[in-house]
């Protein structure tokens, strides 16, 4: 259980981030729902958690903004006196083949997905170091391990997250802070809902378990990695992809 723990989940207004927030709150954590786009979605996630008997609040912040992230972490520590769990889930996609990809689209994805993860780890590490404890989980992707046509920017950002995870694990481990990554495969979310049935069928054929994953599959993996049961696991990337990548 996570009773008494303070958890920050970035990009938690919808999709995988929202399910992670709900799962950690159900286990007793006070959850800070970070969002950058839709306040309505973040408010809905907050209400869902509170209605279920959990604790939650929302905080707007673009994780690509170094100073804004510092202000967010400072507010959390000032308000709740500590920060025990950080889940770096915020991410965007701007897909197209490399020959057609603009510099701005490449930079935007790297800034949010990779630099945003760096910003959050850097500022969250300070209170965790003082506490001599903490759990950090970074959401990567199967395409960060296997690549994918039309997603060079996204794949590069998610591969970078894995390297960042291992480096941070080595830097912070001596103070009782674990840093791990979760690499989801194709998960049923709003993004996959728009795919045609033919496209979904083709995706499923590439998955050994012959099914798309769901957000709860990812949230359960995160919940394990932030628990006391995972105290001796750090610097690892846990694939939640139905067997798509077996490297």
Q: What is the DSSP letter of 244?
A: S
Q: Coil, strand, or helix at residue 204?
A: helix
Set 35, 80, 154, 232: catalytic member: 154
Which candidate, 127, 120, 105, places its Cα nearest to that of 17?
A: 120
Tokens read off for 128: 């965790």
Taking CA atoms, 137 is separated from 28, 56, 121, 152, 165, in Å, by 18, 19, 10, 23, 8
80 is catalytic: no
**For the residues of 57-116, what is the DSSP string, one character each?**
EEEE--TT-HHHHHHHHHHHHHHHS---EEEE---------GGG--HHHHHHHIIIIIIH
Contacts of 61 (CB under 8 A, 6+ apart): 34, 36, 68, 69, 71, 72
138 forms beta bridges with 88, 181
Torsional sign, CA 8, 11, 23, 43: positive
Q: Which residues pair with 213 in a beta bridge?
A: 187
- The residues, any chain, with a CB within 8 Å of residue 178's CB and separated by 6 or more, are 134, 135, 136, 169, 225, 230, 231, 233, 234
Q: Give the catalytic positions in this structure.
A: 154
């Amino acid at each position: 259980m996570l009773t008494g723990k303070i958890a920050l989940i970035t990009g938690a207004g919808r999709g995988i981030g929202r399910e992670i927030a709900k799962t950690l709150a159900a286990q007793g954590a006070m959850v800070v729902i970070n969002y950058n786009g839709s306040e309505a979605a973040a408010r809905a996630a907050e209400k869902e958690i509170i209605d279920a008997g959990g604790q939650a609040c929302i905080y707007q912040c673009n994780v690509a903004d170094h100073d804004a992230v510092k202000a967010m972490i400072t507010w959390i520590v000032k308000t709740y006196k500590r920060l025990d769990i950080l889940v770096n889930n915020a991410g965007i996609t701007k897909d197209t083949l490399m020959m057609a990809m603009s510099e701005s689209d490449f930079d935007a994805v790297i800034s949010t997905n990779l630099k945003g993860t760096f910003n959050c780890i850097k500022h969250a590490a300070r209170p965790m170091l003082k506490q001599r404890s903490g759990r950090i989980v970074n959401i990567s992707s199967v395409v960060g391990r296997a690549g994918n046509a039309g997603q060079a920017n996204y794949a590069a950002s998610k591969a970078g997250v894995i390297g960042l995870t291992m480096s941070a694990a080595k830097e912070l481990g001596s103070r009782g802070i674990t840093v791990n990554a979760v690499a989801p495969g194709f998960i049923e979310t709003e993004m996959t809902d728009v795919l045609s049935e033919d496209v979904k069928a083709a995706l499923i054929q590439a998955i050994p378990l012959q099914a798309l994953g769901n957000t709860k599959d990812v949230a359960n993996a995160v919940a394990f990695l932030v628990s006391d049961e995972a105290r001796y696991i750090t610097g690892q990337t846990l694939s939640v992809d139905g067997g798509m990548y077996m490297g």
